[in-house]
Amino acid sequence: MRFEPVIGLEIHAQLLTQSKIFCGCSTRFGGSPNTHVCPVCLGMPGVLPVLNRDVIEFAMKMALATHCTISPYSQFARKNYFYPDLPKGYQISQYEFPLARNGWVELEMETGSRRIRIHRIHMEEDAGKLVHDEFQPVSYVDFNRTGVPLLEIVSEPDIQTPDEAAAYLRTLRDILCYLDICDGNMEEGSMRCDANISLRPVGTEGLGVKTELKNMNSFRNVQKALEFEIRRQTALLERGEPVIQETRLWDANRNVTVSMRGKEEAHDYRYFPDPDLVPIVIDSGWIEAVRASLPELPDAKRGRFVREYGLPVYDAQVLTASKALAGYFESVVGIFPQSKVVSNWIMSELMRELKRDDREIEACPVTPENLAELLQLIDKGTVSGKLAKAVFEQMYATGKCAGAIVEEKGLVQVRDESAIESVVAEVLAENPVEVEQFRAGKEKLLAFFVGQVMRKTKGKANPQLANEILLKRLSRE
């Protein structure tokens, strides 16, 4: 019997609001432990939470961007559990009445596009962070993160492969980043992912027993953990053994998932509506105002790049991977409108340098204006395409503009006929045997002669001119 996986993902995205969800404490990352805290986020008795309006608007943006229906009435609930990182003894989350439901995102896979439905999106507060001492049996807790707003985005179990899971995560990350509501960094924990996975015989509709996977802090780890879990569950089912419903942790050092807790140890969170927070009522006017504020999203931008600039889908996908990169491309094209040339330069030379440097496009030392200037110099024939790459490397290393480097290094292309004529004469005089062979019909040798001319001029001769002059001289006599 063959089995197929059924996968659902739960994403937690940390929202980029200035202050926490229920108090005015800063959400800034990296402060000394317990410096961004107050009685509200420390859960002192008698304090009252006040909802941050930005959190609702950020959540509404994500809901609209993923085609969800925003509920006119939603409510916060207390999720009760006892753990040292949770000072109140409960987390404020949403349960029966989430902010939004029933959305979808479209994944661009090599095999075509796939629609993954979103079950719900809700808001909640983050817990603190436990720090375990390496040398003593002591743990510390940092409450700076307590009360930082999170969005939980729960997919339907529509995902069929680990590849699709990674693509879904990337798609959500791109949307979150385009909306400027989350920095999308999985390694730093501002985007976290849990997965539910079960197997069923191919072609059947029912669902098998699922396990929940946690602790996967990169796209790669999500993919690897799912691949491992598919192999593990397949082996169990093939041996006729049951899959046990449990939570498993991904161990990235050993590349395995290990059992954390079984169903019998699962929490009963005893949810109930938070009596300190009034229900959230959202009217259509508010929804439309937020909708009007949405930026162009990755999908739409990709489509427009293909239509407006005539780019291949692949180029459009690469260039719209981040809003900043797309903006860079559009700035260059604004000055130098040969879009495919611009795309090629960004995707090869520019992105290679950025990668080598481990820099983001935001920190690129070559401004769009400078790249456009270089492309104009190539277009006008001032500098050859080959030398332009060296010029670009210099621009990247020094931040100088193309014109200055071309001048400084004497890289201006030689288009003076008499100068090339004399080099051609030298080359022909130095290679009498090849000249004979060429005249005897071995025309392939032309490339050899051009190469020699380019070498002597350190790549500065205009290749077309060199070609013409060589042909003229070689056919003579």
User: Binding residues for Zn ion, per CB under 5 A?
Assistant: 23, 25, 38, 40-41
Q: What is the largest CA-CA distance in the chain?
A: 104
The CB-of-314 to Zn ion minimum distance in angstroms stands at: 47
Backbone φ, ψ for residue 197 (5° rounding): -140, 135
**Among residues 25 and 470, whose Cβ is nearest to Zn ion?**
25
The CB-of-42 to Zn ion minimum distance in angstroms stands at: 7
**Which of 118, 148, 196 lies closest to 30, judged by CA?**
148
The CB-of-60 to Zn ion minimum distance in angstroms stands at: 23
**Among residues 37 and 166, whose Cβ is nearest to Zn ion?**
37
Alpha-carbon gap, residue 365 to 349, rounded angstroms: 13
**Among residues 89 and 337, whose Cβ is nearest to Zn ion?**
89
Phi and psi based region of residue 300 (left: phi greater than 0; alpha: psi -120 to 50; beta: remaining): alpha
Please state whether beta strands 246-251 and 211-216 pair in parallel, antiparallel, or not at all (unpaired): parallel
**Among residues 34 and 331, whose Cβ is nearest to Zn ion?**
34
The CB-of-87 to Zn ion minimum distance in angstroms stands at: 11
Alpha-carbon gap, residue 456 to 454, rounded angstroms: 5
> Are 3 and 199 spatial neighbours (Cβ–Cβ below 8 Å)?
yes
**Among residues 8 and 128, whose Cβ is nearest to Zn ion?**
128
Sign of the dihedral defined by the CA atoms of residues 440, 443, 448, 451, in that order: positive
**Which of 173, 164, 174 lies closest to 197, judged by CA?**
164
The CB-of-48 to Zn ion minimum distance in angstroms stands at: 12
User: How crowded is residue 359: how many other Cβ atoms within 10 Å of its Cβ?
Assistant: 13
The CB-of-40 to Zn ion minimum distance in angstroms stands at: 5
Alpha-carbon gap, residue 293 to 85, rounded angstroms: 36
**Among residues 24 and 334, whose Cβ is nearest to Zn ion?**
24
